[in-house]
Chain A
Amino acid sequence: MKITQGQFSFLPDLSDAQITGQIQYALQNNWAVNVEYTDDPHPRNTYWEMWGMPMFDLRDPAGIMMEIKECRATYPNHYIRVTAFDSSRGWETPRMSFLVNRPAEEPGFRLVRQEHGGRHINYTLHSYATDKPEGRRYGL
């Protein structure tokens, strides 16, 4: 099951040239770009690990591509995303966020039903990947 999180996630995975183009756009807008990774694919997981520091004052995507490639080499079976943060007043929020790497195999989610008092049922998602401990979830 292909996870769809962030921009472009319903499209085929971006090529490196396309990623470079997107990052160039972010840099043109003076957004700080950073690289994050995780192996917990839950859509509400907001705590991704940072790959190094956010990169400020860059002019060219080459530096960020270098970091992405290194992150991919270290975590080939993690989700890696690129986030562009807009610090200008009124925004102060990520303006772009898209996946640049995903595990070869994505087991997907199980729907969990919890029965409550009466005939009430709570629904929640459970990722099969998170059954294993962190770091060993995608065959690594």
Chain B
Amino acid sequence: MDDPSEQIPDTTPVDLNKVYQESNIQSILDQLEQELVGLAPVKSRIREIAALLLVDKLREQVQLSAQSPSLHMCFTGNPGTGKTTVAMRMAEILHGLGYVRQGHVVAVTRDDLVGQYIGHTAPKTREVLKKAMGGVLFIDEAYYLYKPENERDYGAEAIEILLQVMENHRDDLVVILAGYKDRMDKFFQSNPGMSSRIAHHIDFPDYTAEELLQIAKLMMAKLNYRFSPKAEHAFADYIVKRMQMPNFANGRSIRNALDRCRLRQANRLFVGHSKSLTRQDLMTIEAEDILASRVFSQQSE
């Protein structure tokens, strides 16, 4: 008689649209679509998570209780594929969906979790975990936590505490691990407990040349610069050439390249200072700013 589910018949209608509009999911997803280029698997997973949280809210209304889903995640991918950016965004998304209470991100690496002497690690890790509660704990290059070559390494202790809190305080914080794919795989192989507690393994694909150009334009727009038509063409060439060179780091390489373009543009304006400048000149990156890059000169050798 006390069972509350008996009071609500199974045929009770639920208003998905109303809940959908009340939460600002659509605006969050739109923003994601606009600001992040490519990354289709990431976006689709975020959409799935959003849908799940929405349906959970609906189920709550008709008293179908369910344990809150585990949202710990692992982001793997090559350098510069946007893992950190997405993690920062993820906190906003989860906060918007009402899954985390405060929506802040605490970004840490091994140094912040692992102590230097016996008995130092546990309080240090716990302090970080407490700071992250109500938000997202982002552990960059998480594989450094575990160093198999040194069995006395304190990293294992940090992992143990991390696992315990990830399990017992699922409602209080979301842990996101990030790192390069091969090393993360090795990390999970040696820490099966960690792997099984993480529900979402998301792989970040490399960007294509077109996507990188789009990213470059977005970055430029944010900095109030723009390419001249010729420069855009030159930059597209630059991207293709740069992608074949070693140490290519996707978005990060593009950002660095743009920074160097800005340097060259400033220098060009400075050297030709006899000419009177306009606002337009200050905003525009010309083809010569890009073609001066060593990427082009090396190619010709």
Contact = CB atoms under 8 A, between A and B. Distances in A.
Contacts of A64: 130
Contacts of A59: 102, 104, 131, 133-135
B123 A58 contact: no
Interface residues of A, number: 13
B90 to A, nearest CB: 16
Nearest to A67: B130
A31 to B, nearest CB: 15
B129 interface: yes
Contacts of B135: 59-60
Contacts of A57: 131
B197 interface: no
Interface size class of B (residues with CB under 8 A): 10 to 19
A90 to B, nearest CB: 26
Contacts, number: 39
A62 B130 CA distance: 7
Interface string A49-81: 000110101111111101100000000000000
B127 interface: yes
B133 A62 contact: yes
A60 B129 contact: no
B153 interface: no
A61 B169 CA distance: 12
A52 B134 contact: no
A7 to B, nearest CB: 23
B127 A60 contact: no
A52 B102 contact: no
A63 B123 contact: no
A60 B135 CA distance: 8
Contacts of A58: 130-131, 133
B123 A55 contact: no
A53 B127 contact: yes
A63 B101 contact: no
A53 to B, nearest CB: 7
Given A55-B130, A66-B130, A60 B172 contact: yes
29 contacts: A53-B127, A55-B127, A55-B130, A57-B131, A58-B130, A58-B131, A58-B133, A59-B102, A59-B104, A59-B131, A59-B133, A59-B134, A60-B101, A60-B102, A60-B133, A60-B134, A60-B135, A61-B134, A62-B101, A62-B130, A62-B133, A62-B134, A63-B129, A63-B130, A63-B172, A64-B130, A66-B130, A66-B133, A66-B169
Give 4 nearest A-B pairs by CB, closest first: A60-B134, A63-B130, A62-B172, A62-B133
Given A53-B123, A63-B133, 11 more contacts: A55-B130, A57-B131, A58-B131, A60-B133, A60-B134, A61-B134, A62-B172, A62-B173, A63-B129, A63-B131, A66-B169
